[in-house]
Every structure is written in C-alpha cells, then in structure tokens.
Amino acid sequence: MRGPLSWNRWPRVDHRAVITLQHRHDPLPKVTGFMLAHGAGRSYGDVCLNAQGTLLLTRRLDRFIEFDRYAGRLRCESGVLIHDALQLIVPQGWFLPVTPGTGYVTIGGAIANDVHGKNHHVAGSFGHHVRRLGLLRSDGSEIVCSPAEHSAWFAATVGGLGLTGLILWAELDLLPISNPFMLTQSRCLRSLAEFWDVSAQMSESWPYTVAWVDCLAGGKRRGRGVFFAARHAPPQVRLPLHRERRLSFPFDPPFSLVGTLSLRAFNELYYRRSRPTAVTLQHYSPYFYPLDRIRNWNRMYGRKGFLQYQCVLPFDASREALPALLAATAKRGQGSFLAVLKTFGGMSAAGMLSFTRPGVTLALDCAIRGASTFALFQELDAIVSSAGGAVYPAKDACMAPRLFRSGYPRIDEFHKYMDPQFSSSLWRRVTA
Amino acid sequence: MTQLQRVVIFGITSAIASEVARQLVAQGSSIFGVGRNELKLRSVLEDLRARKGVQQVIAGAPADLDDLTLHEALFDSARRTLGAVDAVLVAHGTLPDQLRCQESVPETIAQIQTNAVSAIALLTIAARHFEAQGSGLIAAISSVAGDRGRQSNYVYGAAKAMLSTFMDGLRHRLYPKRIAVVTIKPGFVDTPMTAHVANKGALWASPDEVARGIVRAMQRDQSVVYLPRFWRPVMFAIRHLPERIFLRLRL
C-alpha cells in the first residue's frame, strides 16, 4: 500500500503496512521487515518514509504527561505537535526554547531530526533542551535516557532519525516569556558581503536572527536580501490585538505555480517592499510560522512535488562556497520563495548525527522540473562536499552515501545504537 | 446553555470521549472519568491535569462497567470528588465482530451487555440522581447503526437501538423536570475501535470533529444529534427504504 507522503510529496513509495499507535503503554506491533515512526510528515524527502516496510503513525500519542508551570518543564508523548504544546504553555508564560519554522511537527520528530531554529547561535538545537526521553526498543525494553543517564543512548537518539527505536515521550525545558509577542527588526542587505557584517553585528544583541536571500539575483546584487532579528518582547502595558486568520490551498494545480517568472517577480517585490526600520511588535505565530497560516501550502508546487535543500558550510570555506551555491542556483533559474541564510553558533552538537555545527546554513526549495533539478542538486552537493560541509537529512531526498559519510563522521559509533528492526528509506539510501 | 461545570464521563479512554474531556477542560469543566484499562485511564487523566486550571478538578477510577454492581459506588465517588454533578456522558462501548456473534450466543449476549445493558444501568442511576437534584444533563453515545438493523452489524445495531429507544423514553419522562437527555449518533469515526477497517473514505469523521459536535450538543441541550450532520438525511433515507429493496442491498 501507498501510505503517507513527506511534506514535499516526493518520493512516492509503497509501504507494507501503516499502523496508528494509540497508547504509549502498548507494546510495539509485531511486524515483518523494518519499522519507522512517522509523526506529522513535515520532513522533506525520505527520512520519514520506509519503502516496503511499516510506518508507525505517532500522531495519536498526543497526550501531555506533566506540565510543571512553576519550574517550566513539560513532559509529553512524542506525537504532540509543537503547535499544541505552545497552545498550552504560552498563555502560562512559557515558550519552547527552540522551534523550527513550522508548528506542525511532532516533538518526537523534532528530537529525531534534532531540529534548530533562528536562535541556534544562542540556544543550540532542540536536543539541547530535552531533559529526558523514553525510547521503546523492538525487544520490548524501554530505555529512559538523558544527558546524564544512558547518555550514549540519548546522544544517539537525538538527531538519530528515528532509527534507535520509538521515541515514546520526552521531557522538555521551557523558556519563560512575558507575553506572546516578539520584538522584531529588519534590515535590507544589498549584497552577500553585507550579510556577513550585519549578521555578526546583530547576532550579538538579538537571540533570533535569519536572512532571506534573493537566490535569483546575480552579479553585484548576488545575495541581496533582508535580515530579520527578533527577541521575545518584555512586559508591555498594552499589546496589539492578534487574530489568527487561516487560509488553505484547496487543490493540486497540474503544474507548479512557482516558476522562474513568478519567482523573479516575487523576489523583486519582497525585496522592495517597504519595511518599518524601527523595532516592531509581532505575535509569535506569524513571526515563527508564516507558512502555517496557509494549510497545505506544499500544493503550490503542483502534483510533482518539490525538493528542499539545506546545507551547512564551515565558516572559513563559506566565503567562497556560499556565493558558488547561489550562483549555481541562479544560473539554473531555480530557487525558492524562502531561501534562507543563518549562522549557527559554536555549541557542541546534542546528538551523534546532529546537523547543526559551527558555520553558515543555506536552505532553499525547488519545484521538481525533471532531470535539471536533480542535476542542480548534484552540483550543490559537490560544492558542499568540497567545502567540508554537510546536508540536512531531514530535508534530503538526493544526497549520495559519500556526502553523508563525510558530513556525519560518527556514523560507525551511531550504528551500535540502532534498533535492529528500525530503518528508513533515507537510511538505506545514504548507507547503500 | 447548560452549565457543564462538573462532568462524569464513563468510557473516558475512548478516542471520542477523551477528546470531549479535553474540550470540556479547556472550557473550565472539572471531570471525573471512568475507564476499564488502568494505564490508559491514567494517561488520559494526566493529559487533562496538565491542561486544567488551578480550580478545576480532574479525577477518575478504573472499572469494568460490565459489572453492574460497581455503578452506584462509582457515581457516589464521582459526586463526592466533584462536589456535585452537572452532566453525565456515557461513552463506553465495543464494536463486536458480527461473524463471531453469529456463531456464539455468549458473545452476542456479552456485546449487548456492554453496549446496551450497562449503559442503561448507568442512565437509570444518573436519571434518579438528577431528579433528586432537580437539574442535570444526561448524554450517551449511541450510533447510526441503531437506526436500522443491517446484516453486517446488527448485534451492535440492536444494542444501540435499545440504548436510543431507552433514551427517547427517558427524555420524554424527564422533559417536565427540565433534565436534558442527549442522544449522540455518530456515523463512521476513525478510532481504535474501527482500526481494522482498511479503506476509510469520505464518510469517515475524526474523533476531534465528533467531539466538538458532542460538546456543542450538550451545551445546547439538543435531543438527538447525528454526527457529522449529514447522517440525519442519510439515515432517514435508510430507515424509509422499503424492506423489499433493503433486503437486496449488502449494507
């Protein structure tokens, strides 16, 4: 049978079975072949797919276990969405210390991919804020691990792509906030050179920083974009009204609406749009999750789907490699609405296979337009590889085993903690 | 609008009932929940406790409701814990294997015991209690399956028909006393009870969606509610299908 897709809707693979898990006290189902937990299906590529194997859907493992609203600690099952956790904790003055760009990922998925947010340079990745987690192995044992207790299991499971067993629950540290609003500031970047300066300067005083880049602009304007900085707002006498308005992309267009022309127009407008230069108050939801307002936005790319590309480059190599990546993308006329640049901090990784490391990360998405798209990705891989960088498995559908091995040198150590009954399409591809 | 400050839910670990409980807790209700499996009950109550405000009470007790002798004590325990009870939701049930029932008298009787007899026992206790109290709301989850017996599912259907008819009469009796009796008739719902059904088409609803309908029906004192609502005309048509035609259908 077919089973679910990943968010970019490529590749489409067949599964032997798809089973919805209902209670965290139930044993794992007996299956033949490999299993893999599948949460909200918001990763890209094949990290959440298991061709010819079984998917264990975790979305019904969605119960909170304990919320300590005084100490700021939340224990919950792994299928709880970040969105749902925030609904609970924000009105009571807490936030998640790290959040990715969508609230519709499960806590289990956030741990398994050790996701990061715009505050990596000060807060590290999601795994840095997991106090403990419960891991159910296919032999029926449950391992409770933390940075102190069974720490190797913990390091293998954080960023472990769901391959060490089923993450049943997790206990998270929370961040105190005064209200649901953010203070934001934006700056125009006329070129890539400006990005480095502005990033260095803003990152010192702002915990959340990210830059949007126009990946189609060439020549002197290469790397032009907008730099966004934010922090949680301090207490305010009066807060603006916030109303959640949701839109939906109701159907699959037969072809991608993201073409070179529409992209060029969008990028031009987005760059030129006037922005307040002063600091502004903005609700956390449109700030962190601009695309969450549009249900099924992934349909915009048409039935054929799209690909994401996210890599990290070491700082010294990035001065040359980053322009090369942008040039390759611009040359092929491909690229995305949301090409994003961000510098990671120097904190040591939480997991053996964590993606985040000191350097600069670039993320983009491309509609699949046949062989040329895959050729572009090979070109990007080659640049990343020679720069000594790595590609993010949570968003990957294409990287070759060699690039995976060079980007993740602790694979052999990780192997020892893999569950013999767990595997994924991604894992079989990158270790082939 | 009926006050749903203190609600007792029987069968709270079911996917639909635990979602109802979440929505009630979000609106400020205190909950006493009864479930058969102790571990599952505990995890449902933990979830509700994490969501509750300081003044709300979340409590419960594990019990197999097939044992009718427990009912009175459970109800008393709920009343003591919550102080008083404003509403009762009877939500426990099983989906029998029709083929097994056809082969086995004990299985058929056991299914009717769970889905009809034990529910009716609870409704009787709740009705007596609310009559004495002079207010209250009684809701129970029946099913569209009770509207007409079908070859594929008539043991379940018969039990739910008994429950629905009992509630019709109860509503009639309690009407002058201003005690609401709400019959919930869900169609196909994607829950663990129906996990064995492979192809779930457009007729299937999610537990959240059905739970929203249940909370709304309880707040508005509605009498008989089909969830989702399109089941009302569908079941009207099925009930009025001439027997000669109905018998030829493989429903």
Find out whether A135 and A142 touch, Cβ atoms under 8 Å.
yes
A182-234 per-position pLDDT tens digit: 999 999 999 988 999 999 999 999 999 999 998 888 778 888 899 999 999 99
A335 pLDDT higher than 70: no
* Mean pLDDT for the stretch of residues A353-381: 94
Element (H, E) at B212: helix B207-219
Instruction: Identify the band that residue A337 occupies on the pLDDT scale cut at 50, 70 and 90.
Output: low
A252-297 per-position pLDDT tens digit: 887 787 777 777 787 888 888 767 778 999 999 999 998 898 889 8
CA-CA-CA-CA torsion for A269, A270, A273, A275, nearest 10 degrees? Answer: 180
Is the CB of B47 inside 8 Å of chain A's CB atoms? yes
B63-73 per-position pLDDT tens digit: 999 999 999 99
* Mean pLDDT for the stretch of residues B203-224: 96
Find out whether A9 and A28 touch, Cβ atoms under 8 Å.
no
Picking from B13, B22, B46 by the largest number of A CB atoms within 10 A of its own CB, the best residue to mutate is B46
Chain A residues interacting with chain B (CB cutoff of 8 angstroms): 20, 22-25, 60, 63-67, 74, 76-77, 88
How many angstroms separate the CA atoms of A303 and A153, rounded? 40
Which among B39, B40, B47 has CB closest to A64? B47
Residues on chain B touching A77 (C-beta within 8 angstroms): 43
Burial class (CB in 10 A: 0-12, 13-18, 19+), A136: buried
Which among A63, A67, A88 has CB closest to B44? A63
How many angstroms separate the CA atoms of B116 and B134, rounded? 26
Flag if A25 and B39 touch (Cβ within 8 Å). Answer: yes
Flag if A64 and B51 touch (Cβ within 8 Å). Answer: yes
Which residue from B23, B15, B73 is spatially nearest to B48, judged by alpha carbons? B23
pLDDT value for A274 = 66
How many angstroms separate the CA atoms of A288 and B237, rounded? 49
How many angstroms separate the CA atoms of A247 and A243, rounded? 13
Find out whether B124 and B132 touch, Cβ atoms under 8 Å.
no
Find out whether A305 and A10 touch, Cβ atoms under 8 Å.
yes
Which residue from B170, B164, B158, B209 is spatially nearest to B183, judged by alpha carbons? B164
| % of chain A surpassing 90 pLDDT | 79
Which residue from A300, A391, A341 is spatially nearest to A214, judged by alpha carbons? A341
Find out whether A344 and A311 touch, Cβ atoms under 8 Å.
no
Please state the φ and ψ torsions of residue B74, each to the nearest 5 degrees: -60, -45
A245 pLDDT higher than 80: no
| CATH of segment(s) A181-398 | 3.30.70.2520
Q: How many CA atoms lie within 13 A of A196 on its CB side?
A: 10
How many angstroms separate the CA atoms of A169 and A128, rounded? 16
Mean pLDDT (chain B) is: 96
How many angstroms separate the CA atoms of B12 and B24, rounded? 12
For residue A290, whether the previous peptide bond is cis, meaning omega lies within 30 degrees of 0, is: no
pLDDT value for A356 = 98
All structural domains of chain A with their residue ranges = 64-177, 181-398
Residues 6 or more apart whose Cβ sits within 8 Å of residue A220: A191
Which residue from A358, A282, A351, A394 is spatially nearest to A8, judged by alpha carbons? A394
* Three-state SS at A377: helix
- For Cα atoms A299, B213, B194, give the angle at the middle one, nearest 5 degrees: 70
| CATH of segment(s) B6-246 | 3.40.50.720
3-state secondary structure B125-160: HHHHHHHHHCCCEEEEECCHHHHCCCCCCHHHHHHH
Active site residue B156: yes
Whether CATH 3.40.50.200 fits A64-177: no
Instruction: Identify the band that residue A86 occupies on the pLDDT scale cut at 50, 70 and 90.
Output: very high
Find out whether A68 and A30 touch, Cβ atoms under 8 Å.
no
How many angstroms separate the CA atoms of B118 and B101, rounded? 18
Element (H, E) at A36: strand A35-38
